[in-house]
Amino acid sequence: MPDRKAYPTTPALIPKAVASKRNGAVYEAWQQIVEKYSARDLTVPGDKFPAISGIASKIRKATHSEYLAGLWKGNIASDLLWSASSQISTAPDRFALETWRAPSYSWASIDTAVTYTHLDDEEREAFTPATLLTASKTIPKGLNPLGTLADASITVRGPTMEATLCSEQNRGIWEYMLLVKGTSSISCTPDCLLVDALIKTESNGEEQRTTRRAKNNDSLGNFKSPVLCLSVARHDNLIFGLVLGVSERLPNAWERLGTFAAGTEAMQNANEQEIMLV
């Protein structure tokens, strides 16, 4: 995958992209703005969506795409692959939010700066989505359809693989590795600090072990816990995907924990399935 590129934020970014009449350029501009915007400290953190809704309105008008909690239906594979940009220390902003603000697949679900891998036109041609969006639900809290959310989810179909997520602290920094049968360990870029957890299933009330985002009152420690890997896209011989844990919020749904990149052999025994992300 090409190296991440740095772009300046300029007032002309959106108009220039819109003038190109290429949706790819418009989505690229959106991701650049999200990178800069996510690094800012807002006076009211809950205003993340309202504060950027004016720009989102311009993107929607230019692309005629559906807005999905900070992501775009027409660019869903690339938009899903945002990554938290800083190391995982025990700083307050590296825990899960205390109050729900956005679904886990949205960059607005954390208070950390995020990054995307930016592609030029030639690289974009080699970027092949592996996940298909089959359904979505976005419920605004007020009258602004691009503003604060009450609830949201997406349903996708793609290759999935069960894996074990391992945590280890190295010089004060928490690191996470994926163990997939038949491959060497794979680095996971977590969205925030993670912990293993026991969740009661709705069907029979039994407890199920999984991994979730850590809350600020959780005890952190080394663990080995099951996760699900979802292949989102391919670029040359690499697969880029999401690491998921069973949802505590909604039965039979999954929540995003982080991202991974691996050779295609890591998902050679993957099973195609449809899953809901919340």
pTM of the predicted structure, to 2 decimals = 0.91
**Is 143 inside any structural domain?**
no
**Is 184 inside any structural domain?**
yes
**Residues 6 or more apart whose Cβ sits within 8 Å of residue 149:** 49, 69, 101, 102, 103, 138, 139, 140, 141
**Is 150 inside any structural domain?**
no
What is the average per-residue pLDDT within 166-181?
Answer: 91
Give tens-digit pLDDT for 138-159.
Answer: 999 999 999 999 999 999 999 9
**CA-to-CA dists, residue 241 to 69, 189, 213, 262, 264, angstroms:** 19, 11, 17, 9, 11
Q: Is 41 exposed, middle or buried (0-12, 13-18, 19+ CB in 10 A)?
A: exposed
Tell me the residue range of the domain where 228 lies: 155-277
Q: Given 109, 128, 147, which residue is the final one in a domain? A: 128
Q: Are 175 and 119 part of one and the same domain?
A: no
Q: Are 210 and 265 part of one and the same domain?
A: yes
CB atoms within 10 A of CB 252: 11
Q: Are 225 and 115 part of one and the same domain?
A: no
* Model confidence band, residue 8 (pLDDT cutoffs 50, 70, 90): very low
**Is 208 inside any structural domain?**
yes
What is the average per-residue pLDDT within 188-196?
Answer: 96
**Is 137 inside any structural domain?**
no
**Is 141 inside any structural domain?**
no
Q: Are 159 and 124 part of one and the same domain?
A: no
In the predicted structure, residue 19 carries a pLDDT above the cut 90: no
* Model confidence band, residue 161 (pLDDT cutoffs 50, 70, 90): very high
Q: Quick one: pLDDT at residue 11?
A: 55
Q: Are 33 and 93 part of one and the same domain?
A: yes
**Is 4 inside any structural domain?**
no
> How far is the C-alpha of 119 from the C-alpha of 125, rounded, in Å?
9
Looking at the 3D structure of the chain, how many domains does it have?
A: 2
What is the average per-residue pLDDT within 151-178?
Answer: 95
More confidently predicted of 92 and 171:
171
Share of the chain above pLDDT 70, in %: 90
